[in-house]
Amino acid sequence: KLPVMKTLLRLIALLSAVLIVSSAPPTCYSRMLSLSKEITESFRDLQISKAVDPCVETLPRLYLDIHNYCVLAKLRDFVAYPRCERVLQVSALKEKARSLYTIMIFYCRRDLVFLTDDCNALENPF
C-alpha cells in the first residue's frame, strides 16, 4: 500500500505543478504574440470567407510579426483604412489591431525587441 500512496502523492504533486504553471498570468510579450497571431488568423479567415462583403478584397494585407518594426505602421494603416466600416468582422478586426497597437506602444514597449525592419516581409510573408 505504501508504494501506491507514494505514487499517488507524486502524481498529485505533478498535476498541481502543471496547473500552477498553466495558470500563470500572461506576460506583456506573450499577450502581444498571441494577439498578433489571433489577428493574423482572423484576417486570413476573413479573406477566404465567401459570405463577406466584396470590399474585404481591398483591405491592406494583414500579416503581423511583432519582431518587425514595420508592424507598427502596418497596424496604423489597417486601422485607418476608410473602407469596409459597415462589415462587422472588419470592425472587430480593426478594434483588435487598435488594441495590439496600444499594448505595443504604451504598455509593453520595454518588453518589445524588434529584430528587423523589413516591411516587405509583412507584405509577402510566405
Structural domain including 110 reads 27-123
Q: Are 39 and 74 in contact (CB under 8 A)?
A: no
- Looking at residue 52, its pLDDT comes to 76
10-64 confidence digits (pLDDT tens): 767 666 655 555 555 578 888 899 999 999 999 999 888 877 788 888 888 888 9
Which has more pLDDT, 25 or 121?
121
φ, ψ of residue 117 in degrees (nearest 5): -135, 45
Q: Does residue 96 contact residue 62 with C-beta atoms inside 8 Å?
A: no
- Does residue 22 form part of some domain? no
Residue 10 lies in a domain: no
User: Is residue 105, in this structure, part of any structural domain at all?
Assistant: yes
Q: Residue 113 carries which DSSP code?
A: -
Whether the per-residue pLDDT at 93 is higher than 70: the answer is yes
The Cα–Cα gap between 60 and 82 comes to 11
The pLDDT of residue 74 is 92
Residue 77, domain member (yes or no): yes
- The answer to whether position 42 is within a domain reads yes
The reported pLDDT for the residue numbered 20 is 53
SS3 for 116? strand
Domain contains 18: no
Q: State what percent of residues in the chain have pLDDT above 90.
A: 33
Q: Is position 81 within any domain? A: yes
Residue type, 40: T
Assess if residue 32 is contained within a domain: yes
Task: Note the pLDDT of residue 30.
Answer: 87
Helix (H, G, I), strand (E, B) or coil at 26: coil
* Structural domains of the chain, count: 1
Mean local confidence (pLDDT), 68-74: 92
Give residues with Cβ within 8 angstroms of 83, minimum separation 6: 55, 58, 59
89 against 85, higher pLDDT = 89
Please report, to the nearest 10 degrees, the dihedral formed by the alpha carbons of residues 26, 28, 30, 36 taken in order: 130
- CA Rg value for the chain: 21
- The per-residue pLDDT of the chain, averaged, comes to 82
What's the CA gap between 15 and 11, in Å, rounded? 6
Q: What is the pLDDT of residues 28-39, one digit of tens each?
A: 888 899 999 999
